[in-house]
Structure 1
Amino acid sequence: MKYLRIFFLLLVFQTGIAQVRNEYKISFDNAAHHEALIEATFTNLESGTISLRMSRTSPGRYALHEFSKNVYDVKITDGKGKSVMVTRPNPHQWDVSGHDGTILLSYRLFADRADGTYSQVNDSYALLNIPATFMYIPTLKERPVQLTVVVKPGHNWKISTQLIPLGGNSYLAPNLQYFMDSPILTGNHIVKEFKVPSRGTEYTIKLALQHQGTEEEADQYFEQIKKIVEQEKAVFGDFPNFDYGEYTFLACYMPISSRDGMEHRNSTVLTSTKSLAEGGMKGNIGTVSHEFFHAWNVERIRPQSLEPFDFEKANMSGELWFAEGFTSYYTNLILCRAGILTQEEYINSLNKTYNYVWNSPGRNFFNPIEMSQQAPLVDAATSVDPVNRSNTFISYYSYGSMLGLALDLSLRSHKEGLNLDDYMKLLWAKYGKNETPYTTENLLFTLREYAGESFADNFFKSYIYNSHAPDFKKLLATVAIYLKTDVKTPYFGARITFDKNDFATIADYTRIGTPAYDARLEKGDIILSINNATFSTPEQFDEVLKKHKPGKRITVTYRRLGEERKTILRLATNPTVTLTPYSKPSEKALLQRENWLKAK
């Protein structure tokens, strides 16, 4: 997103020139019951009908969320407090006519979910995501927005946000897009900061931390953040131009939070139930790494399909395999380079994602671009009907992460001196610094420029426009890692759980290509026996299976909808692989691994 009026607006405020603004006030007198009171004044309106709306989605989230469901006690008058005509053409819109050029608005908001999308209000703190909180007038999208946050006397609540401070708990956004992109944490939280040099200036990096821990824990956590900041800057070569000289991590690590992270232009929301003392020191830091990387990749190296973000409909993009997926690839890689993960821990962290992606049947149906386009259906989206996603969908976060790994190792083995970091630097120079939105074709053309036409065309044709699997055995060998397989343990191909009656039940929809799927077994089937051998515990089930070798046919007796049935199932070898470092690597491969994983 571009905010070309920012410096003009700052000049206006400094010189005192009056400018029409949309003004909001939020207060928390009923915070104990998760309620906020929002008041707004819209002036200098054109005659005729004015539409007030609640957003249906939120920047960085691609599905619909219908925030109007948490709004009530709506009161709308003209500037003199007189009644106006209000109609509701749909659940998220209030059409106002009969006003006098001014609309006064007030309403109550119920807010009790702390994450990167919704808002949470209680008598200890408030985490506010703007689209989930404030009504707006779409036709006034270019107006500055002024917000005043009213805190209870004696509470000593701080306010942390990327909005421009005006003094007196009032803040400014240059326009609607920036306002909607600017979350707020207010409460008695800890604030830490440090300075980073960039292109002859200095930026301030802040941590606003709402938690139930100690100052010492906050200090330790902030030291990790500093290392992440420096290693991510090394990938791109410099920092983004943070609009007002600051970037803020808004961290809410409270037991009533939900685990999430959400990037914004000059800040990010980080939420988790884990306290720093109880696993959060290491368990929460990956989200920090992921979201700060977005300050470059997605906030400024931005897909054309998401520019500008539309608050009234689902936002679909075919580039999320890169925007989210490559960011996911760097998430743990940065932790390794920063010394927060050891090299062994990093390599081990690849296992889950590797097996999830390359053993998924979803690649038979959609390539990475098409997987990305499903984001409005899966990104915190809700539905009540069962879906077959275990067979048809692979998360673009995970898929893109594996493609990032494949491209990085492919570049490093293709030609000395090539690597994914420098490809990202080139994208930053071409599309990020000047904030020119890109397309998938732009990613291809830039890779041609960086690594050659043949290399780039082959990678995109095979792995982006199609769903082939890279030769990871060969690629990982270049960094002294091999794929270890288990050829002895038989594979049934379904997750079995035991209920309170000791019945072995298939827990999930069976996956295409597994022995259970080919034997026409399905979710909810109760497995009674295997070759007449029965079992009543997971251990007994495994013991029965281990008596048979992979490749052997077994008779499975099962019950479906009260009817006893039999089927023949052919056991397979377990498709799960383990990425394992060589015990005696060559000096060349060890050097390649070191160059890949060491601090920059």
Structure 2
Amino acid sequence: MKNRILIVLLTVFLSFTGFSQTSNEYSISFDKAEQHEAQITAVFSNLENKVLQLRMSRTSPGRYAVHEFAKNVYNVKAVDSKGNTLSVTRSDPHQWNIGSHDGTVKVTYTLFGNRGDGTYSQIDETHAHLNIPATFMYALDYEHRPIKVKFDVRKDLKWKVATQLKNLDNNTFYAPNLDYFMDSPTEISNHSVRSFIVKNGEKDLKINFALHHNGTEAEFDTYFEKVKKVVLEQQKVFGELPDYDFGEYTFLACYIPNASGDGMEHRNSTIVTSTRGLAEGGMERNIGTVSHEFFHCWNVERIRPQTLEPFDYTEANMSGELWFAEGFTSYYTNLILCRAGLITKKKYVEGLSGGLNYVWNSPARKYFTPIEMSYQAPFVDAARSVDPVNRENTFISYYTYGSVLGLALDLSLRDLDGDKNLDDFMKLLWKTYGRNEIPYTVRDLQNVLTTYAGATFATDFFSNYIFDSKMPAYKTLLASVGVDFNQSNQNELDLGVHIGNFKISSNPIEGGPAYNAGLALGDELISLDDMVINAETKDATYFGQFQPNQTVKLIYNRFGKQRETQFTFKANNDYSTKLQEKVSKKVKENREQWLRTN
């Protein structure tokens, strides 16, 4: 990674000091935006005397699953420098081969795109929302070349361009190589932009927020103040911002009804999309994605797992470190909002219970460790499949798993002598690996924790919670900062399955009442304890007649036949997290230090 960055910066330097390199050149136009189509032209020159291999990527930086972008490419044609038609053949679903050229190949094709999120492209009358791997072919063996791309914007729609790519002129932009190009999403629309300057050591860095929405400029002004607080609060965690390549970082936000909710980090920018406008709840609910994705400009973009280097555009990218890269980022997502005063301490603390219960109560921990959960990313990270899976019992999101482990590590460090905390551990990781972009392994994380907190502490934490699936002592840890962690809903029933209109709508949880009774997805309940269910029966009223630990006869329908079993209700064992009102002076100080940046 470090060598790649040095090459990138050298290429940038040479390009802007008069050194001429052959560029791969693209242009894209949107005359048929209402049909979700873009017309793309790519010119590859000074080619070797061999077959030119053009591919569409199957993956996208920031995603870990395979996405078959070639499926939306058609009408592919090619000519040489004299305009002579060239034969285009296919060697696999993702590749086009062009031979017998004269050293120059001009390719044209049509792209269909209608999903506005962090992975795909969307083209319509409102915008051209472009994820580069989903949009542009690339040439094998020429990935090192600089790239120029011209966006032929719709002037009739008042479109303009927002991207981390280097702006040359006349809507033409520059990337030093394919990796940078692929990592540079672009929003073309009639958007608004707000910017502010952040002092970062001896440098001034510019933070931009390009917002495509249907709201007012006043709403944007209010929202941007929240964004500024997030940026400055996160800068405190690491002690500095990254040294962005062109001195700028850009949020590319689409808060419009035709978008799809998402967030996707990139080197000097991020995509944040939502169907919620600022006046429709987005003012409060969209800021969490901003917080999460901006934290990634340190954690994952520069503090980067070795398993993601180099990024593979042809296969799924698997990493065992996502519990840290995504999970610890998730831990900081709402903690930063709390520290910035954008959510209350009460709301933050009470919100911890959801993730803690999900991980604490999941049977999946007996199958996979956090590392192995991370390995599941190619199957779950916006991946598509048609066959049923048993995720309810075998998978815990590495986002949530890592988040609750981040909480445990933070509170455990704060319980040690020497005013230790997760912020300073993250600073040390940044200085050791992130600032100079040295990829890390899981053992590297453990070694840095050893340096920071001692070998015994680091070995215990990694042995029990990373290389194994044990749970930290959350009750004790949370008590140290004045938070109750108690089971407060044991008068309520736990069915161990999702039921909608008295039909089993999920796989039963292992060890739960529905699982023990032998029920399965799709079963339809007929009666419990001889009380027949009919069209007027309401779920809450019906199940409210039963008590925890009560056993009843259950009649149900499976594949058109009635069956009978014994069903034993269980108590709801979920935990709640609540701020303690009366705490000692020491506990109060611990809580204040935790919920505000030191």
TM-score tier after normalising by the smaller chain length: over 0.9
1:36-435 to structure 2, matched below 5 A, reads 36-435=38-437
Q: Distance in 2 between matches of 1:97 and 1:225?
A: 51
Tell me if the contact between 1:3 and 1:174 (Cα under 8 Å) persists in the aligned partners: no
2:548 maps to amino acid: P
Residue deviations 1:280-314 (CA, integer Å, cap 9, x gap): 01111000000000000000000000011110110
Equivalent residues, number: 595
2:196 maps to amino acid: F
Q: What displacement does 1:599 show? A: 4.2
Q: Distance in 2 between matches of 1:489 and 1:86?
A: 65
Residue deviations 1:441-480 (CA, integer Å, cap 9, x gap): 0001111111111111011111100111111111111111
Tell me if the contact between 2:237 and 2:597 (Cα under 8 Å) persists in the aligned partners: no
Q: Distance in 1 between matches of 2:436 and 2:551?
A: 62
Tell me if the contact between 1:367 and 1:464 (Cα under 8 Å) persists in the aligned partners: yes
Query: Which residue of the other structure, out of 5, 12, 15, is the alignment partner of 2:14?
Result: 12
Evaluate the alpha carbon distance shift between residue 264 and residue 548 of structure 1 in structure 2; reply closer, same or farther with a 3 A threshold.
same
Tell me if the contact between 2:233 and 2:340 (Cα under 8 Å) persists in the aligned partners: yes
Q: What displacement does 1:13 show? A: 3.7
Q: Which moved more, 1:199-208 or 1:12-21?
A: 12-21
Evaluate the alpha carbon distance shift between residue 573 and residue 229 of structure 1 in structure 2; reply closer, same or farther with a 3 A threshold.
same
Evaluate the alpha carbon distance shift between residue 391 and residue 7 of structure 1 in structure 2; reply closer, same or farther with a 3 A threshold.
closer
Q: Distance in 2 between matches of 1:157 and 1:147?
A: 16
Residue deviations 1:330-366 (CA, integer Å, cap 9, x gap): 0000000010010001012212211111111111100
1:576 maps to amino acid: D
1:42 maps to amino acid: F
Evaluate the alpha carbon distance shift between residue 537 and residue 219 of structure 1 in structure 2; reply closer, same or farther with a 3 A threshold.
farther
Tell me if the contact between 1:78 and 1:102 (Cα under 8 Å) persists in the aligned partners: yes
2:398 maps to amino acid: Y
**Which residue is 2:572 aligned to?**
574
Q: Which moved more, 1:410-419 or 1:66-75?
A: 410-419
Q: What displacement does 1:538 show? A: 9.3
Q: Distance in 2 between matches of 1:86 and 1:570?
A: 65
Query: Which residue of the other structure, out of 491, 496, 519, is the alignment partner of 1:493?
Result: 496
Residue deviations 1:261-296 (CA, integer Å, cap 9, x gap): 000000000110000000001111000000000000
1:434 maps to amino acid: N
Q: Which moved more, 1:347-356 or 1:216-225?
A: 347-356
Q: What displacement does 1:69 show? A: 0.5
Residue deviations 1:196-223 (CA, integer Å, cap 9, x gap): 0112010000000000000011111110
Q: What displacement does 1:315 show? A: 0.3
**Which residue is 1:549 aligned to?**
547
1:496 maps to amino acid: I
Structure 1: unaligned runs, 5 residues or longer: 499-503
Tell me if the contact between 1:44 and 1:102 (Cα under 8 Å) persists in the aligned partners: yes
Give the TM-score normalised by structure 1.
Answer: 0.97
Q: What displacement does 1:584 show? A: 1.9
Tell me if the contact between 2:115 and 2:122 (Cα under 8 Å) persists in the aligned partners: yes
Q: Distance in 2 between matches of 1:538 and 1:6?
A: 67
Q: Distance in 2 between matches of 1:122 and 1:297?
A: 34
Tell me if the contact between 1:114 and 1:120 (Cα under 8 Å) persists in the aligned partners: yes
Q: Distance in 1 between matches of 2:398 and 2:265?
A: 17
Aligned to 2:141, what secondary structure does the other structure show? helix
Aligned to 2:292, what secondary structure does the other structure show? helix
Q: What displacement does 1:540 show? A: 4.9
Tell me if the contact between 2:41 and 2:109 (Cα under 8 Å) persists in the aligned partners: yes
Query: Which residue of the other structure, out of 501, 508, 514, is the alignment partner of 2:512?
Result: 514
1:453-468 to structure 2, matched below 5 A, reads 453-468=455-470
Tell me if the contact between 1:34 and 1:110 (Cα under 8 Å) persists in the aligned partners: yes
2:332 maps to amino acid: Y
1:555 maps to amino acid: K
**Which residue is 1:563 aligned to?**
561
Q: Distance in 2 between matches of 1:530 and 1:587?
A: 53
Q: Distance in 1 between matches of 2:327 and 2:156?
A: 45
Q: Distance in 2 between matches of 1:349 and 1:366?
A: 25
Q: Distance in 1 between matches of 2:302 and 2:36?
A: 35
Evaluate the alpha carbon distance shift between residue 124 and residue 492 of structure 1 in structure 2; reply closer, same or farther with a 3 A threshold.
closer
Tell me if the contact between 1:480 and 1:593 (Cα under 8 Å) persists in the aligned partners: yes
Aligned to 1:398, what secondary structure does the other structure show? helix
Aligned to 2:138, what secondary structure does the other structure show? coil
Q: What displacement does 1:566 show? A: 1.7
Aligned to 1:569, what secondary structure does the other structure show? strand
Q: Distance in 2 between matches of 1:378 and 1:154?
A: 40
Aligned to 2:271, what secondary structure does the other structure show? strand
Q: Which moved more, 1:146-155 or 1:63-72?
A: 146-155
Q: What displacement does 1:559 show? A: 1.8
Q: Distance in 1 between matches of 2:285 and 2:204?
A: 30
Q: What displacement does 1:6 show? A: 4.0
Q: Distance in 2 between matches of 1:553 and 1:480?
A: 39
Q: Distance in 2 between matches of 1:65 and 1:3?
A: 26
Q: What displacement does 1:550 show? A: 2.2
Tell me if the contact between 2:187 and 2:252 (Cα under 8 Å) persists in the aligned partners: yes
1:290 maps to amino acid: H
2:576 maps to amino acid: T
**Which residue is 1:501 aligned to?**
none
Aligned to 1:140, what secondary structure does the other structure show? coil
Q: Which moved more, 1:347-356 or 1:252-261?
A: 347-356
2:213 maps to amino acid: H
Q: Distance in 2 between matches of 1:592 and 1:416?
A: 13
Aligned to 2:108, what secondary structure does the other structure show? strand
**Which residue is 1:27 aligned to?**
29
Q: Distance in 2 between matches of 1:5 and 1:541?
A: 63
Q: What displacement does 1:233 show? A: 0.6
Tell me if the contact between 1:497 and 1:538 (Cα under 8 Å) persists in the aligned partners: no
Tell me if the contact between 1:535 and 1:541 (Cα under 8 Å) persists in the aligned partners: no
Tell me if the contact between 1:25 and 1:147 (Cα under 8 Å) persists in the aligned partners: yes
Q: Distance in 2 between matches of 1:134 and 1:76?
A: 15
Tell me if the contact between 2:525 and 2:533 (Cα under 8 Å) persists in the aligned partners: no
Q: Distance in 2 between matches of 1:579 and 1:12?
A: 56
Aligned to 2:368, what secondary structure does the other structure show? coil
Tell me if the contact between 2:77 and 2:88 (Cα under 8 Å) persists in the aligned partners: no
Q: Distance in 2 between matches of 1:36 and 1:28?
A: 5
Tell me if the contact between 1:261 and 1:271 (Cα under 8 Å) persists in the aligned partners: yes
Q: Distance in 1 between matches of 2:190 and 2:178?
A: 28
User: What RMSD, in angstroms, separates the aligned Cα atoms of the two structures?
Assistant: 1.5
Q: What displacement does 1:436 show? A: 0.3
Evaluate the alpha carbon distance shift between residue 294 and residue 539 of structure 1 in structure 2; reply closer, same or farther with a 3 A threshold.
farther
Q: Distance in 1 between matches of 2:539 and 2:114?
A: 43
Q: Distance in 1 between matches of 2:40 and 2:15?
A: 25
Q: Distance in 2 between matches of 1:46 and 1:547?
A: 78
Aligned to 1:250, what secondary structure does the other structure show? strand
Tell me if the contact between 2:211 and 2:255 (Cα under 8 Å) persists in the aligned partners: yes
**Which residue is 2:529 aligned to?**
531
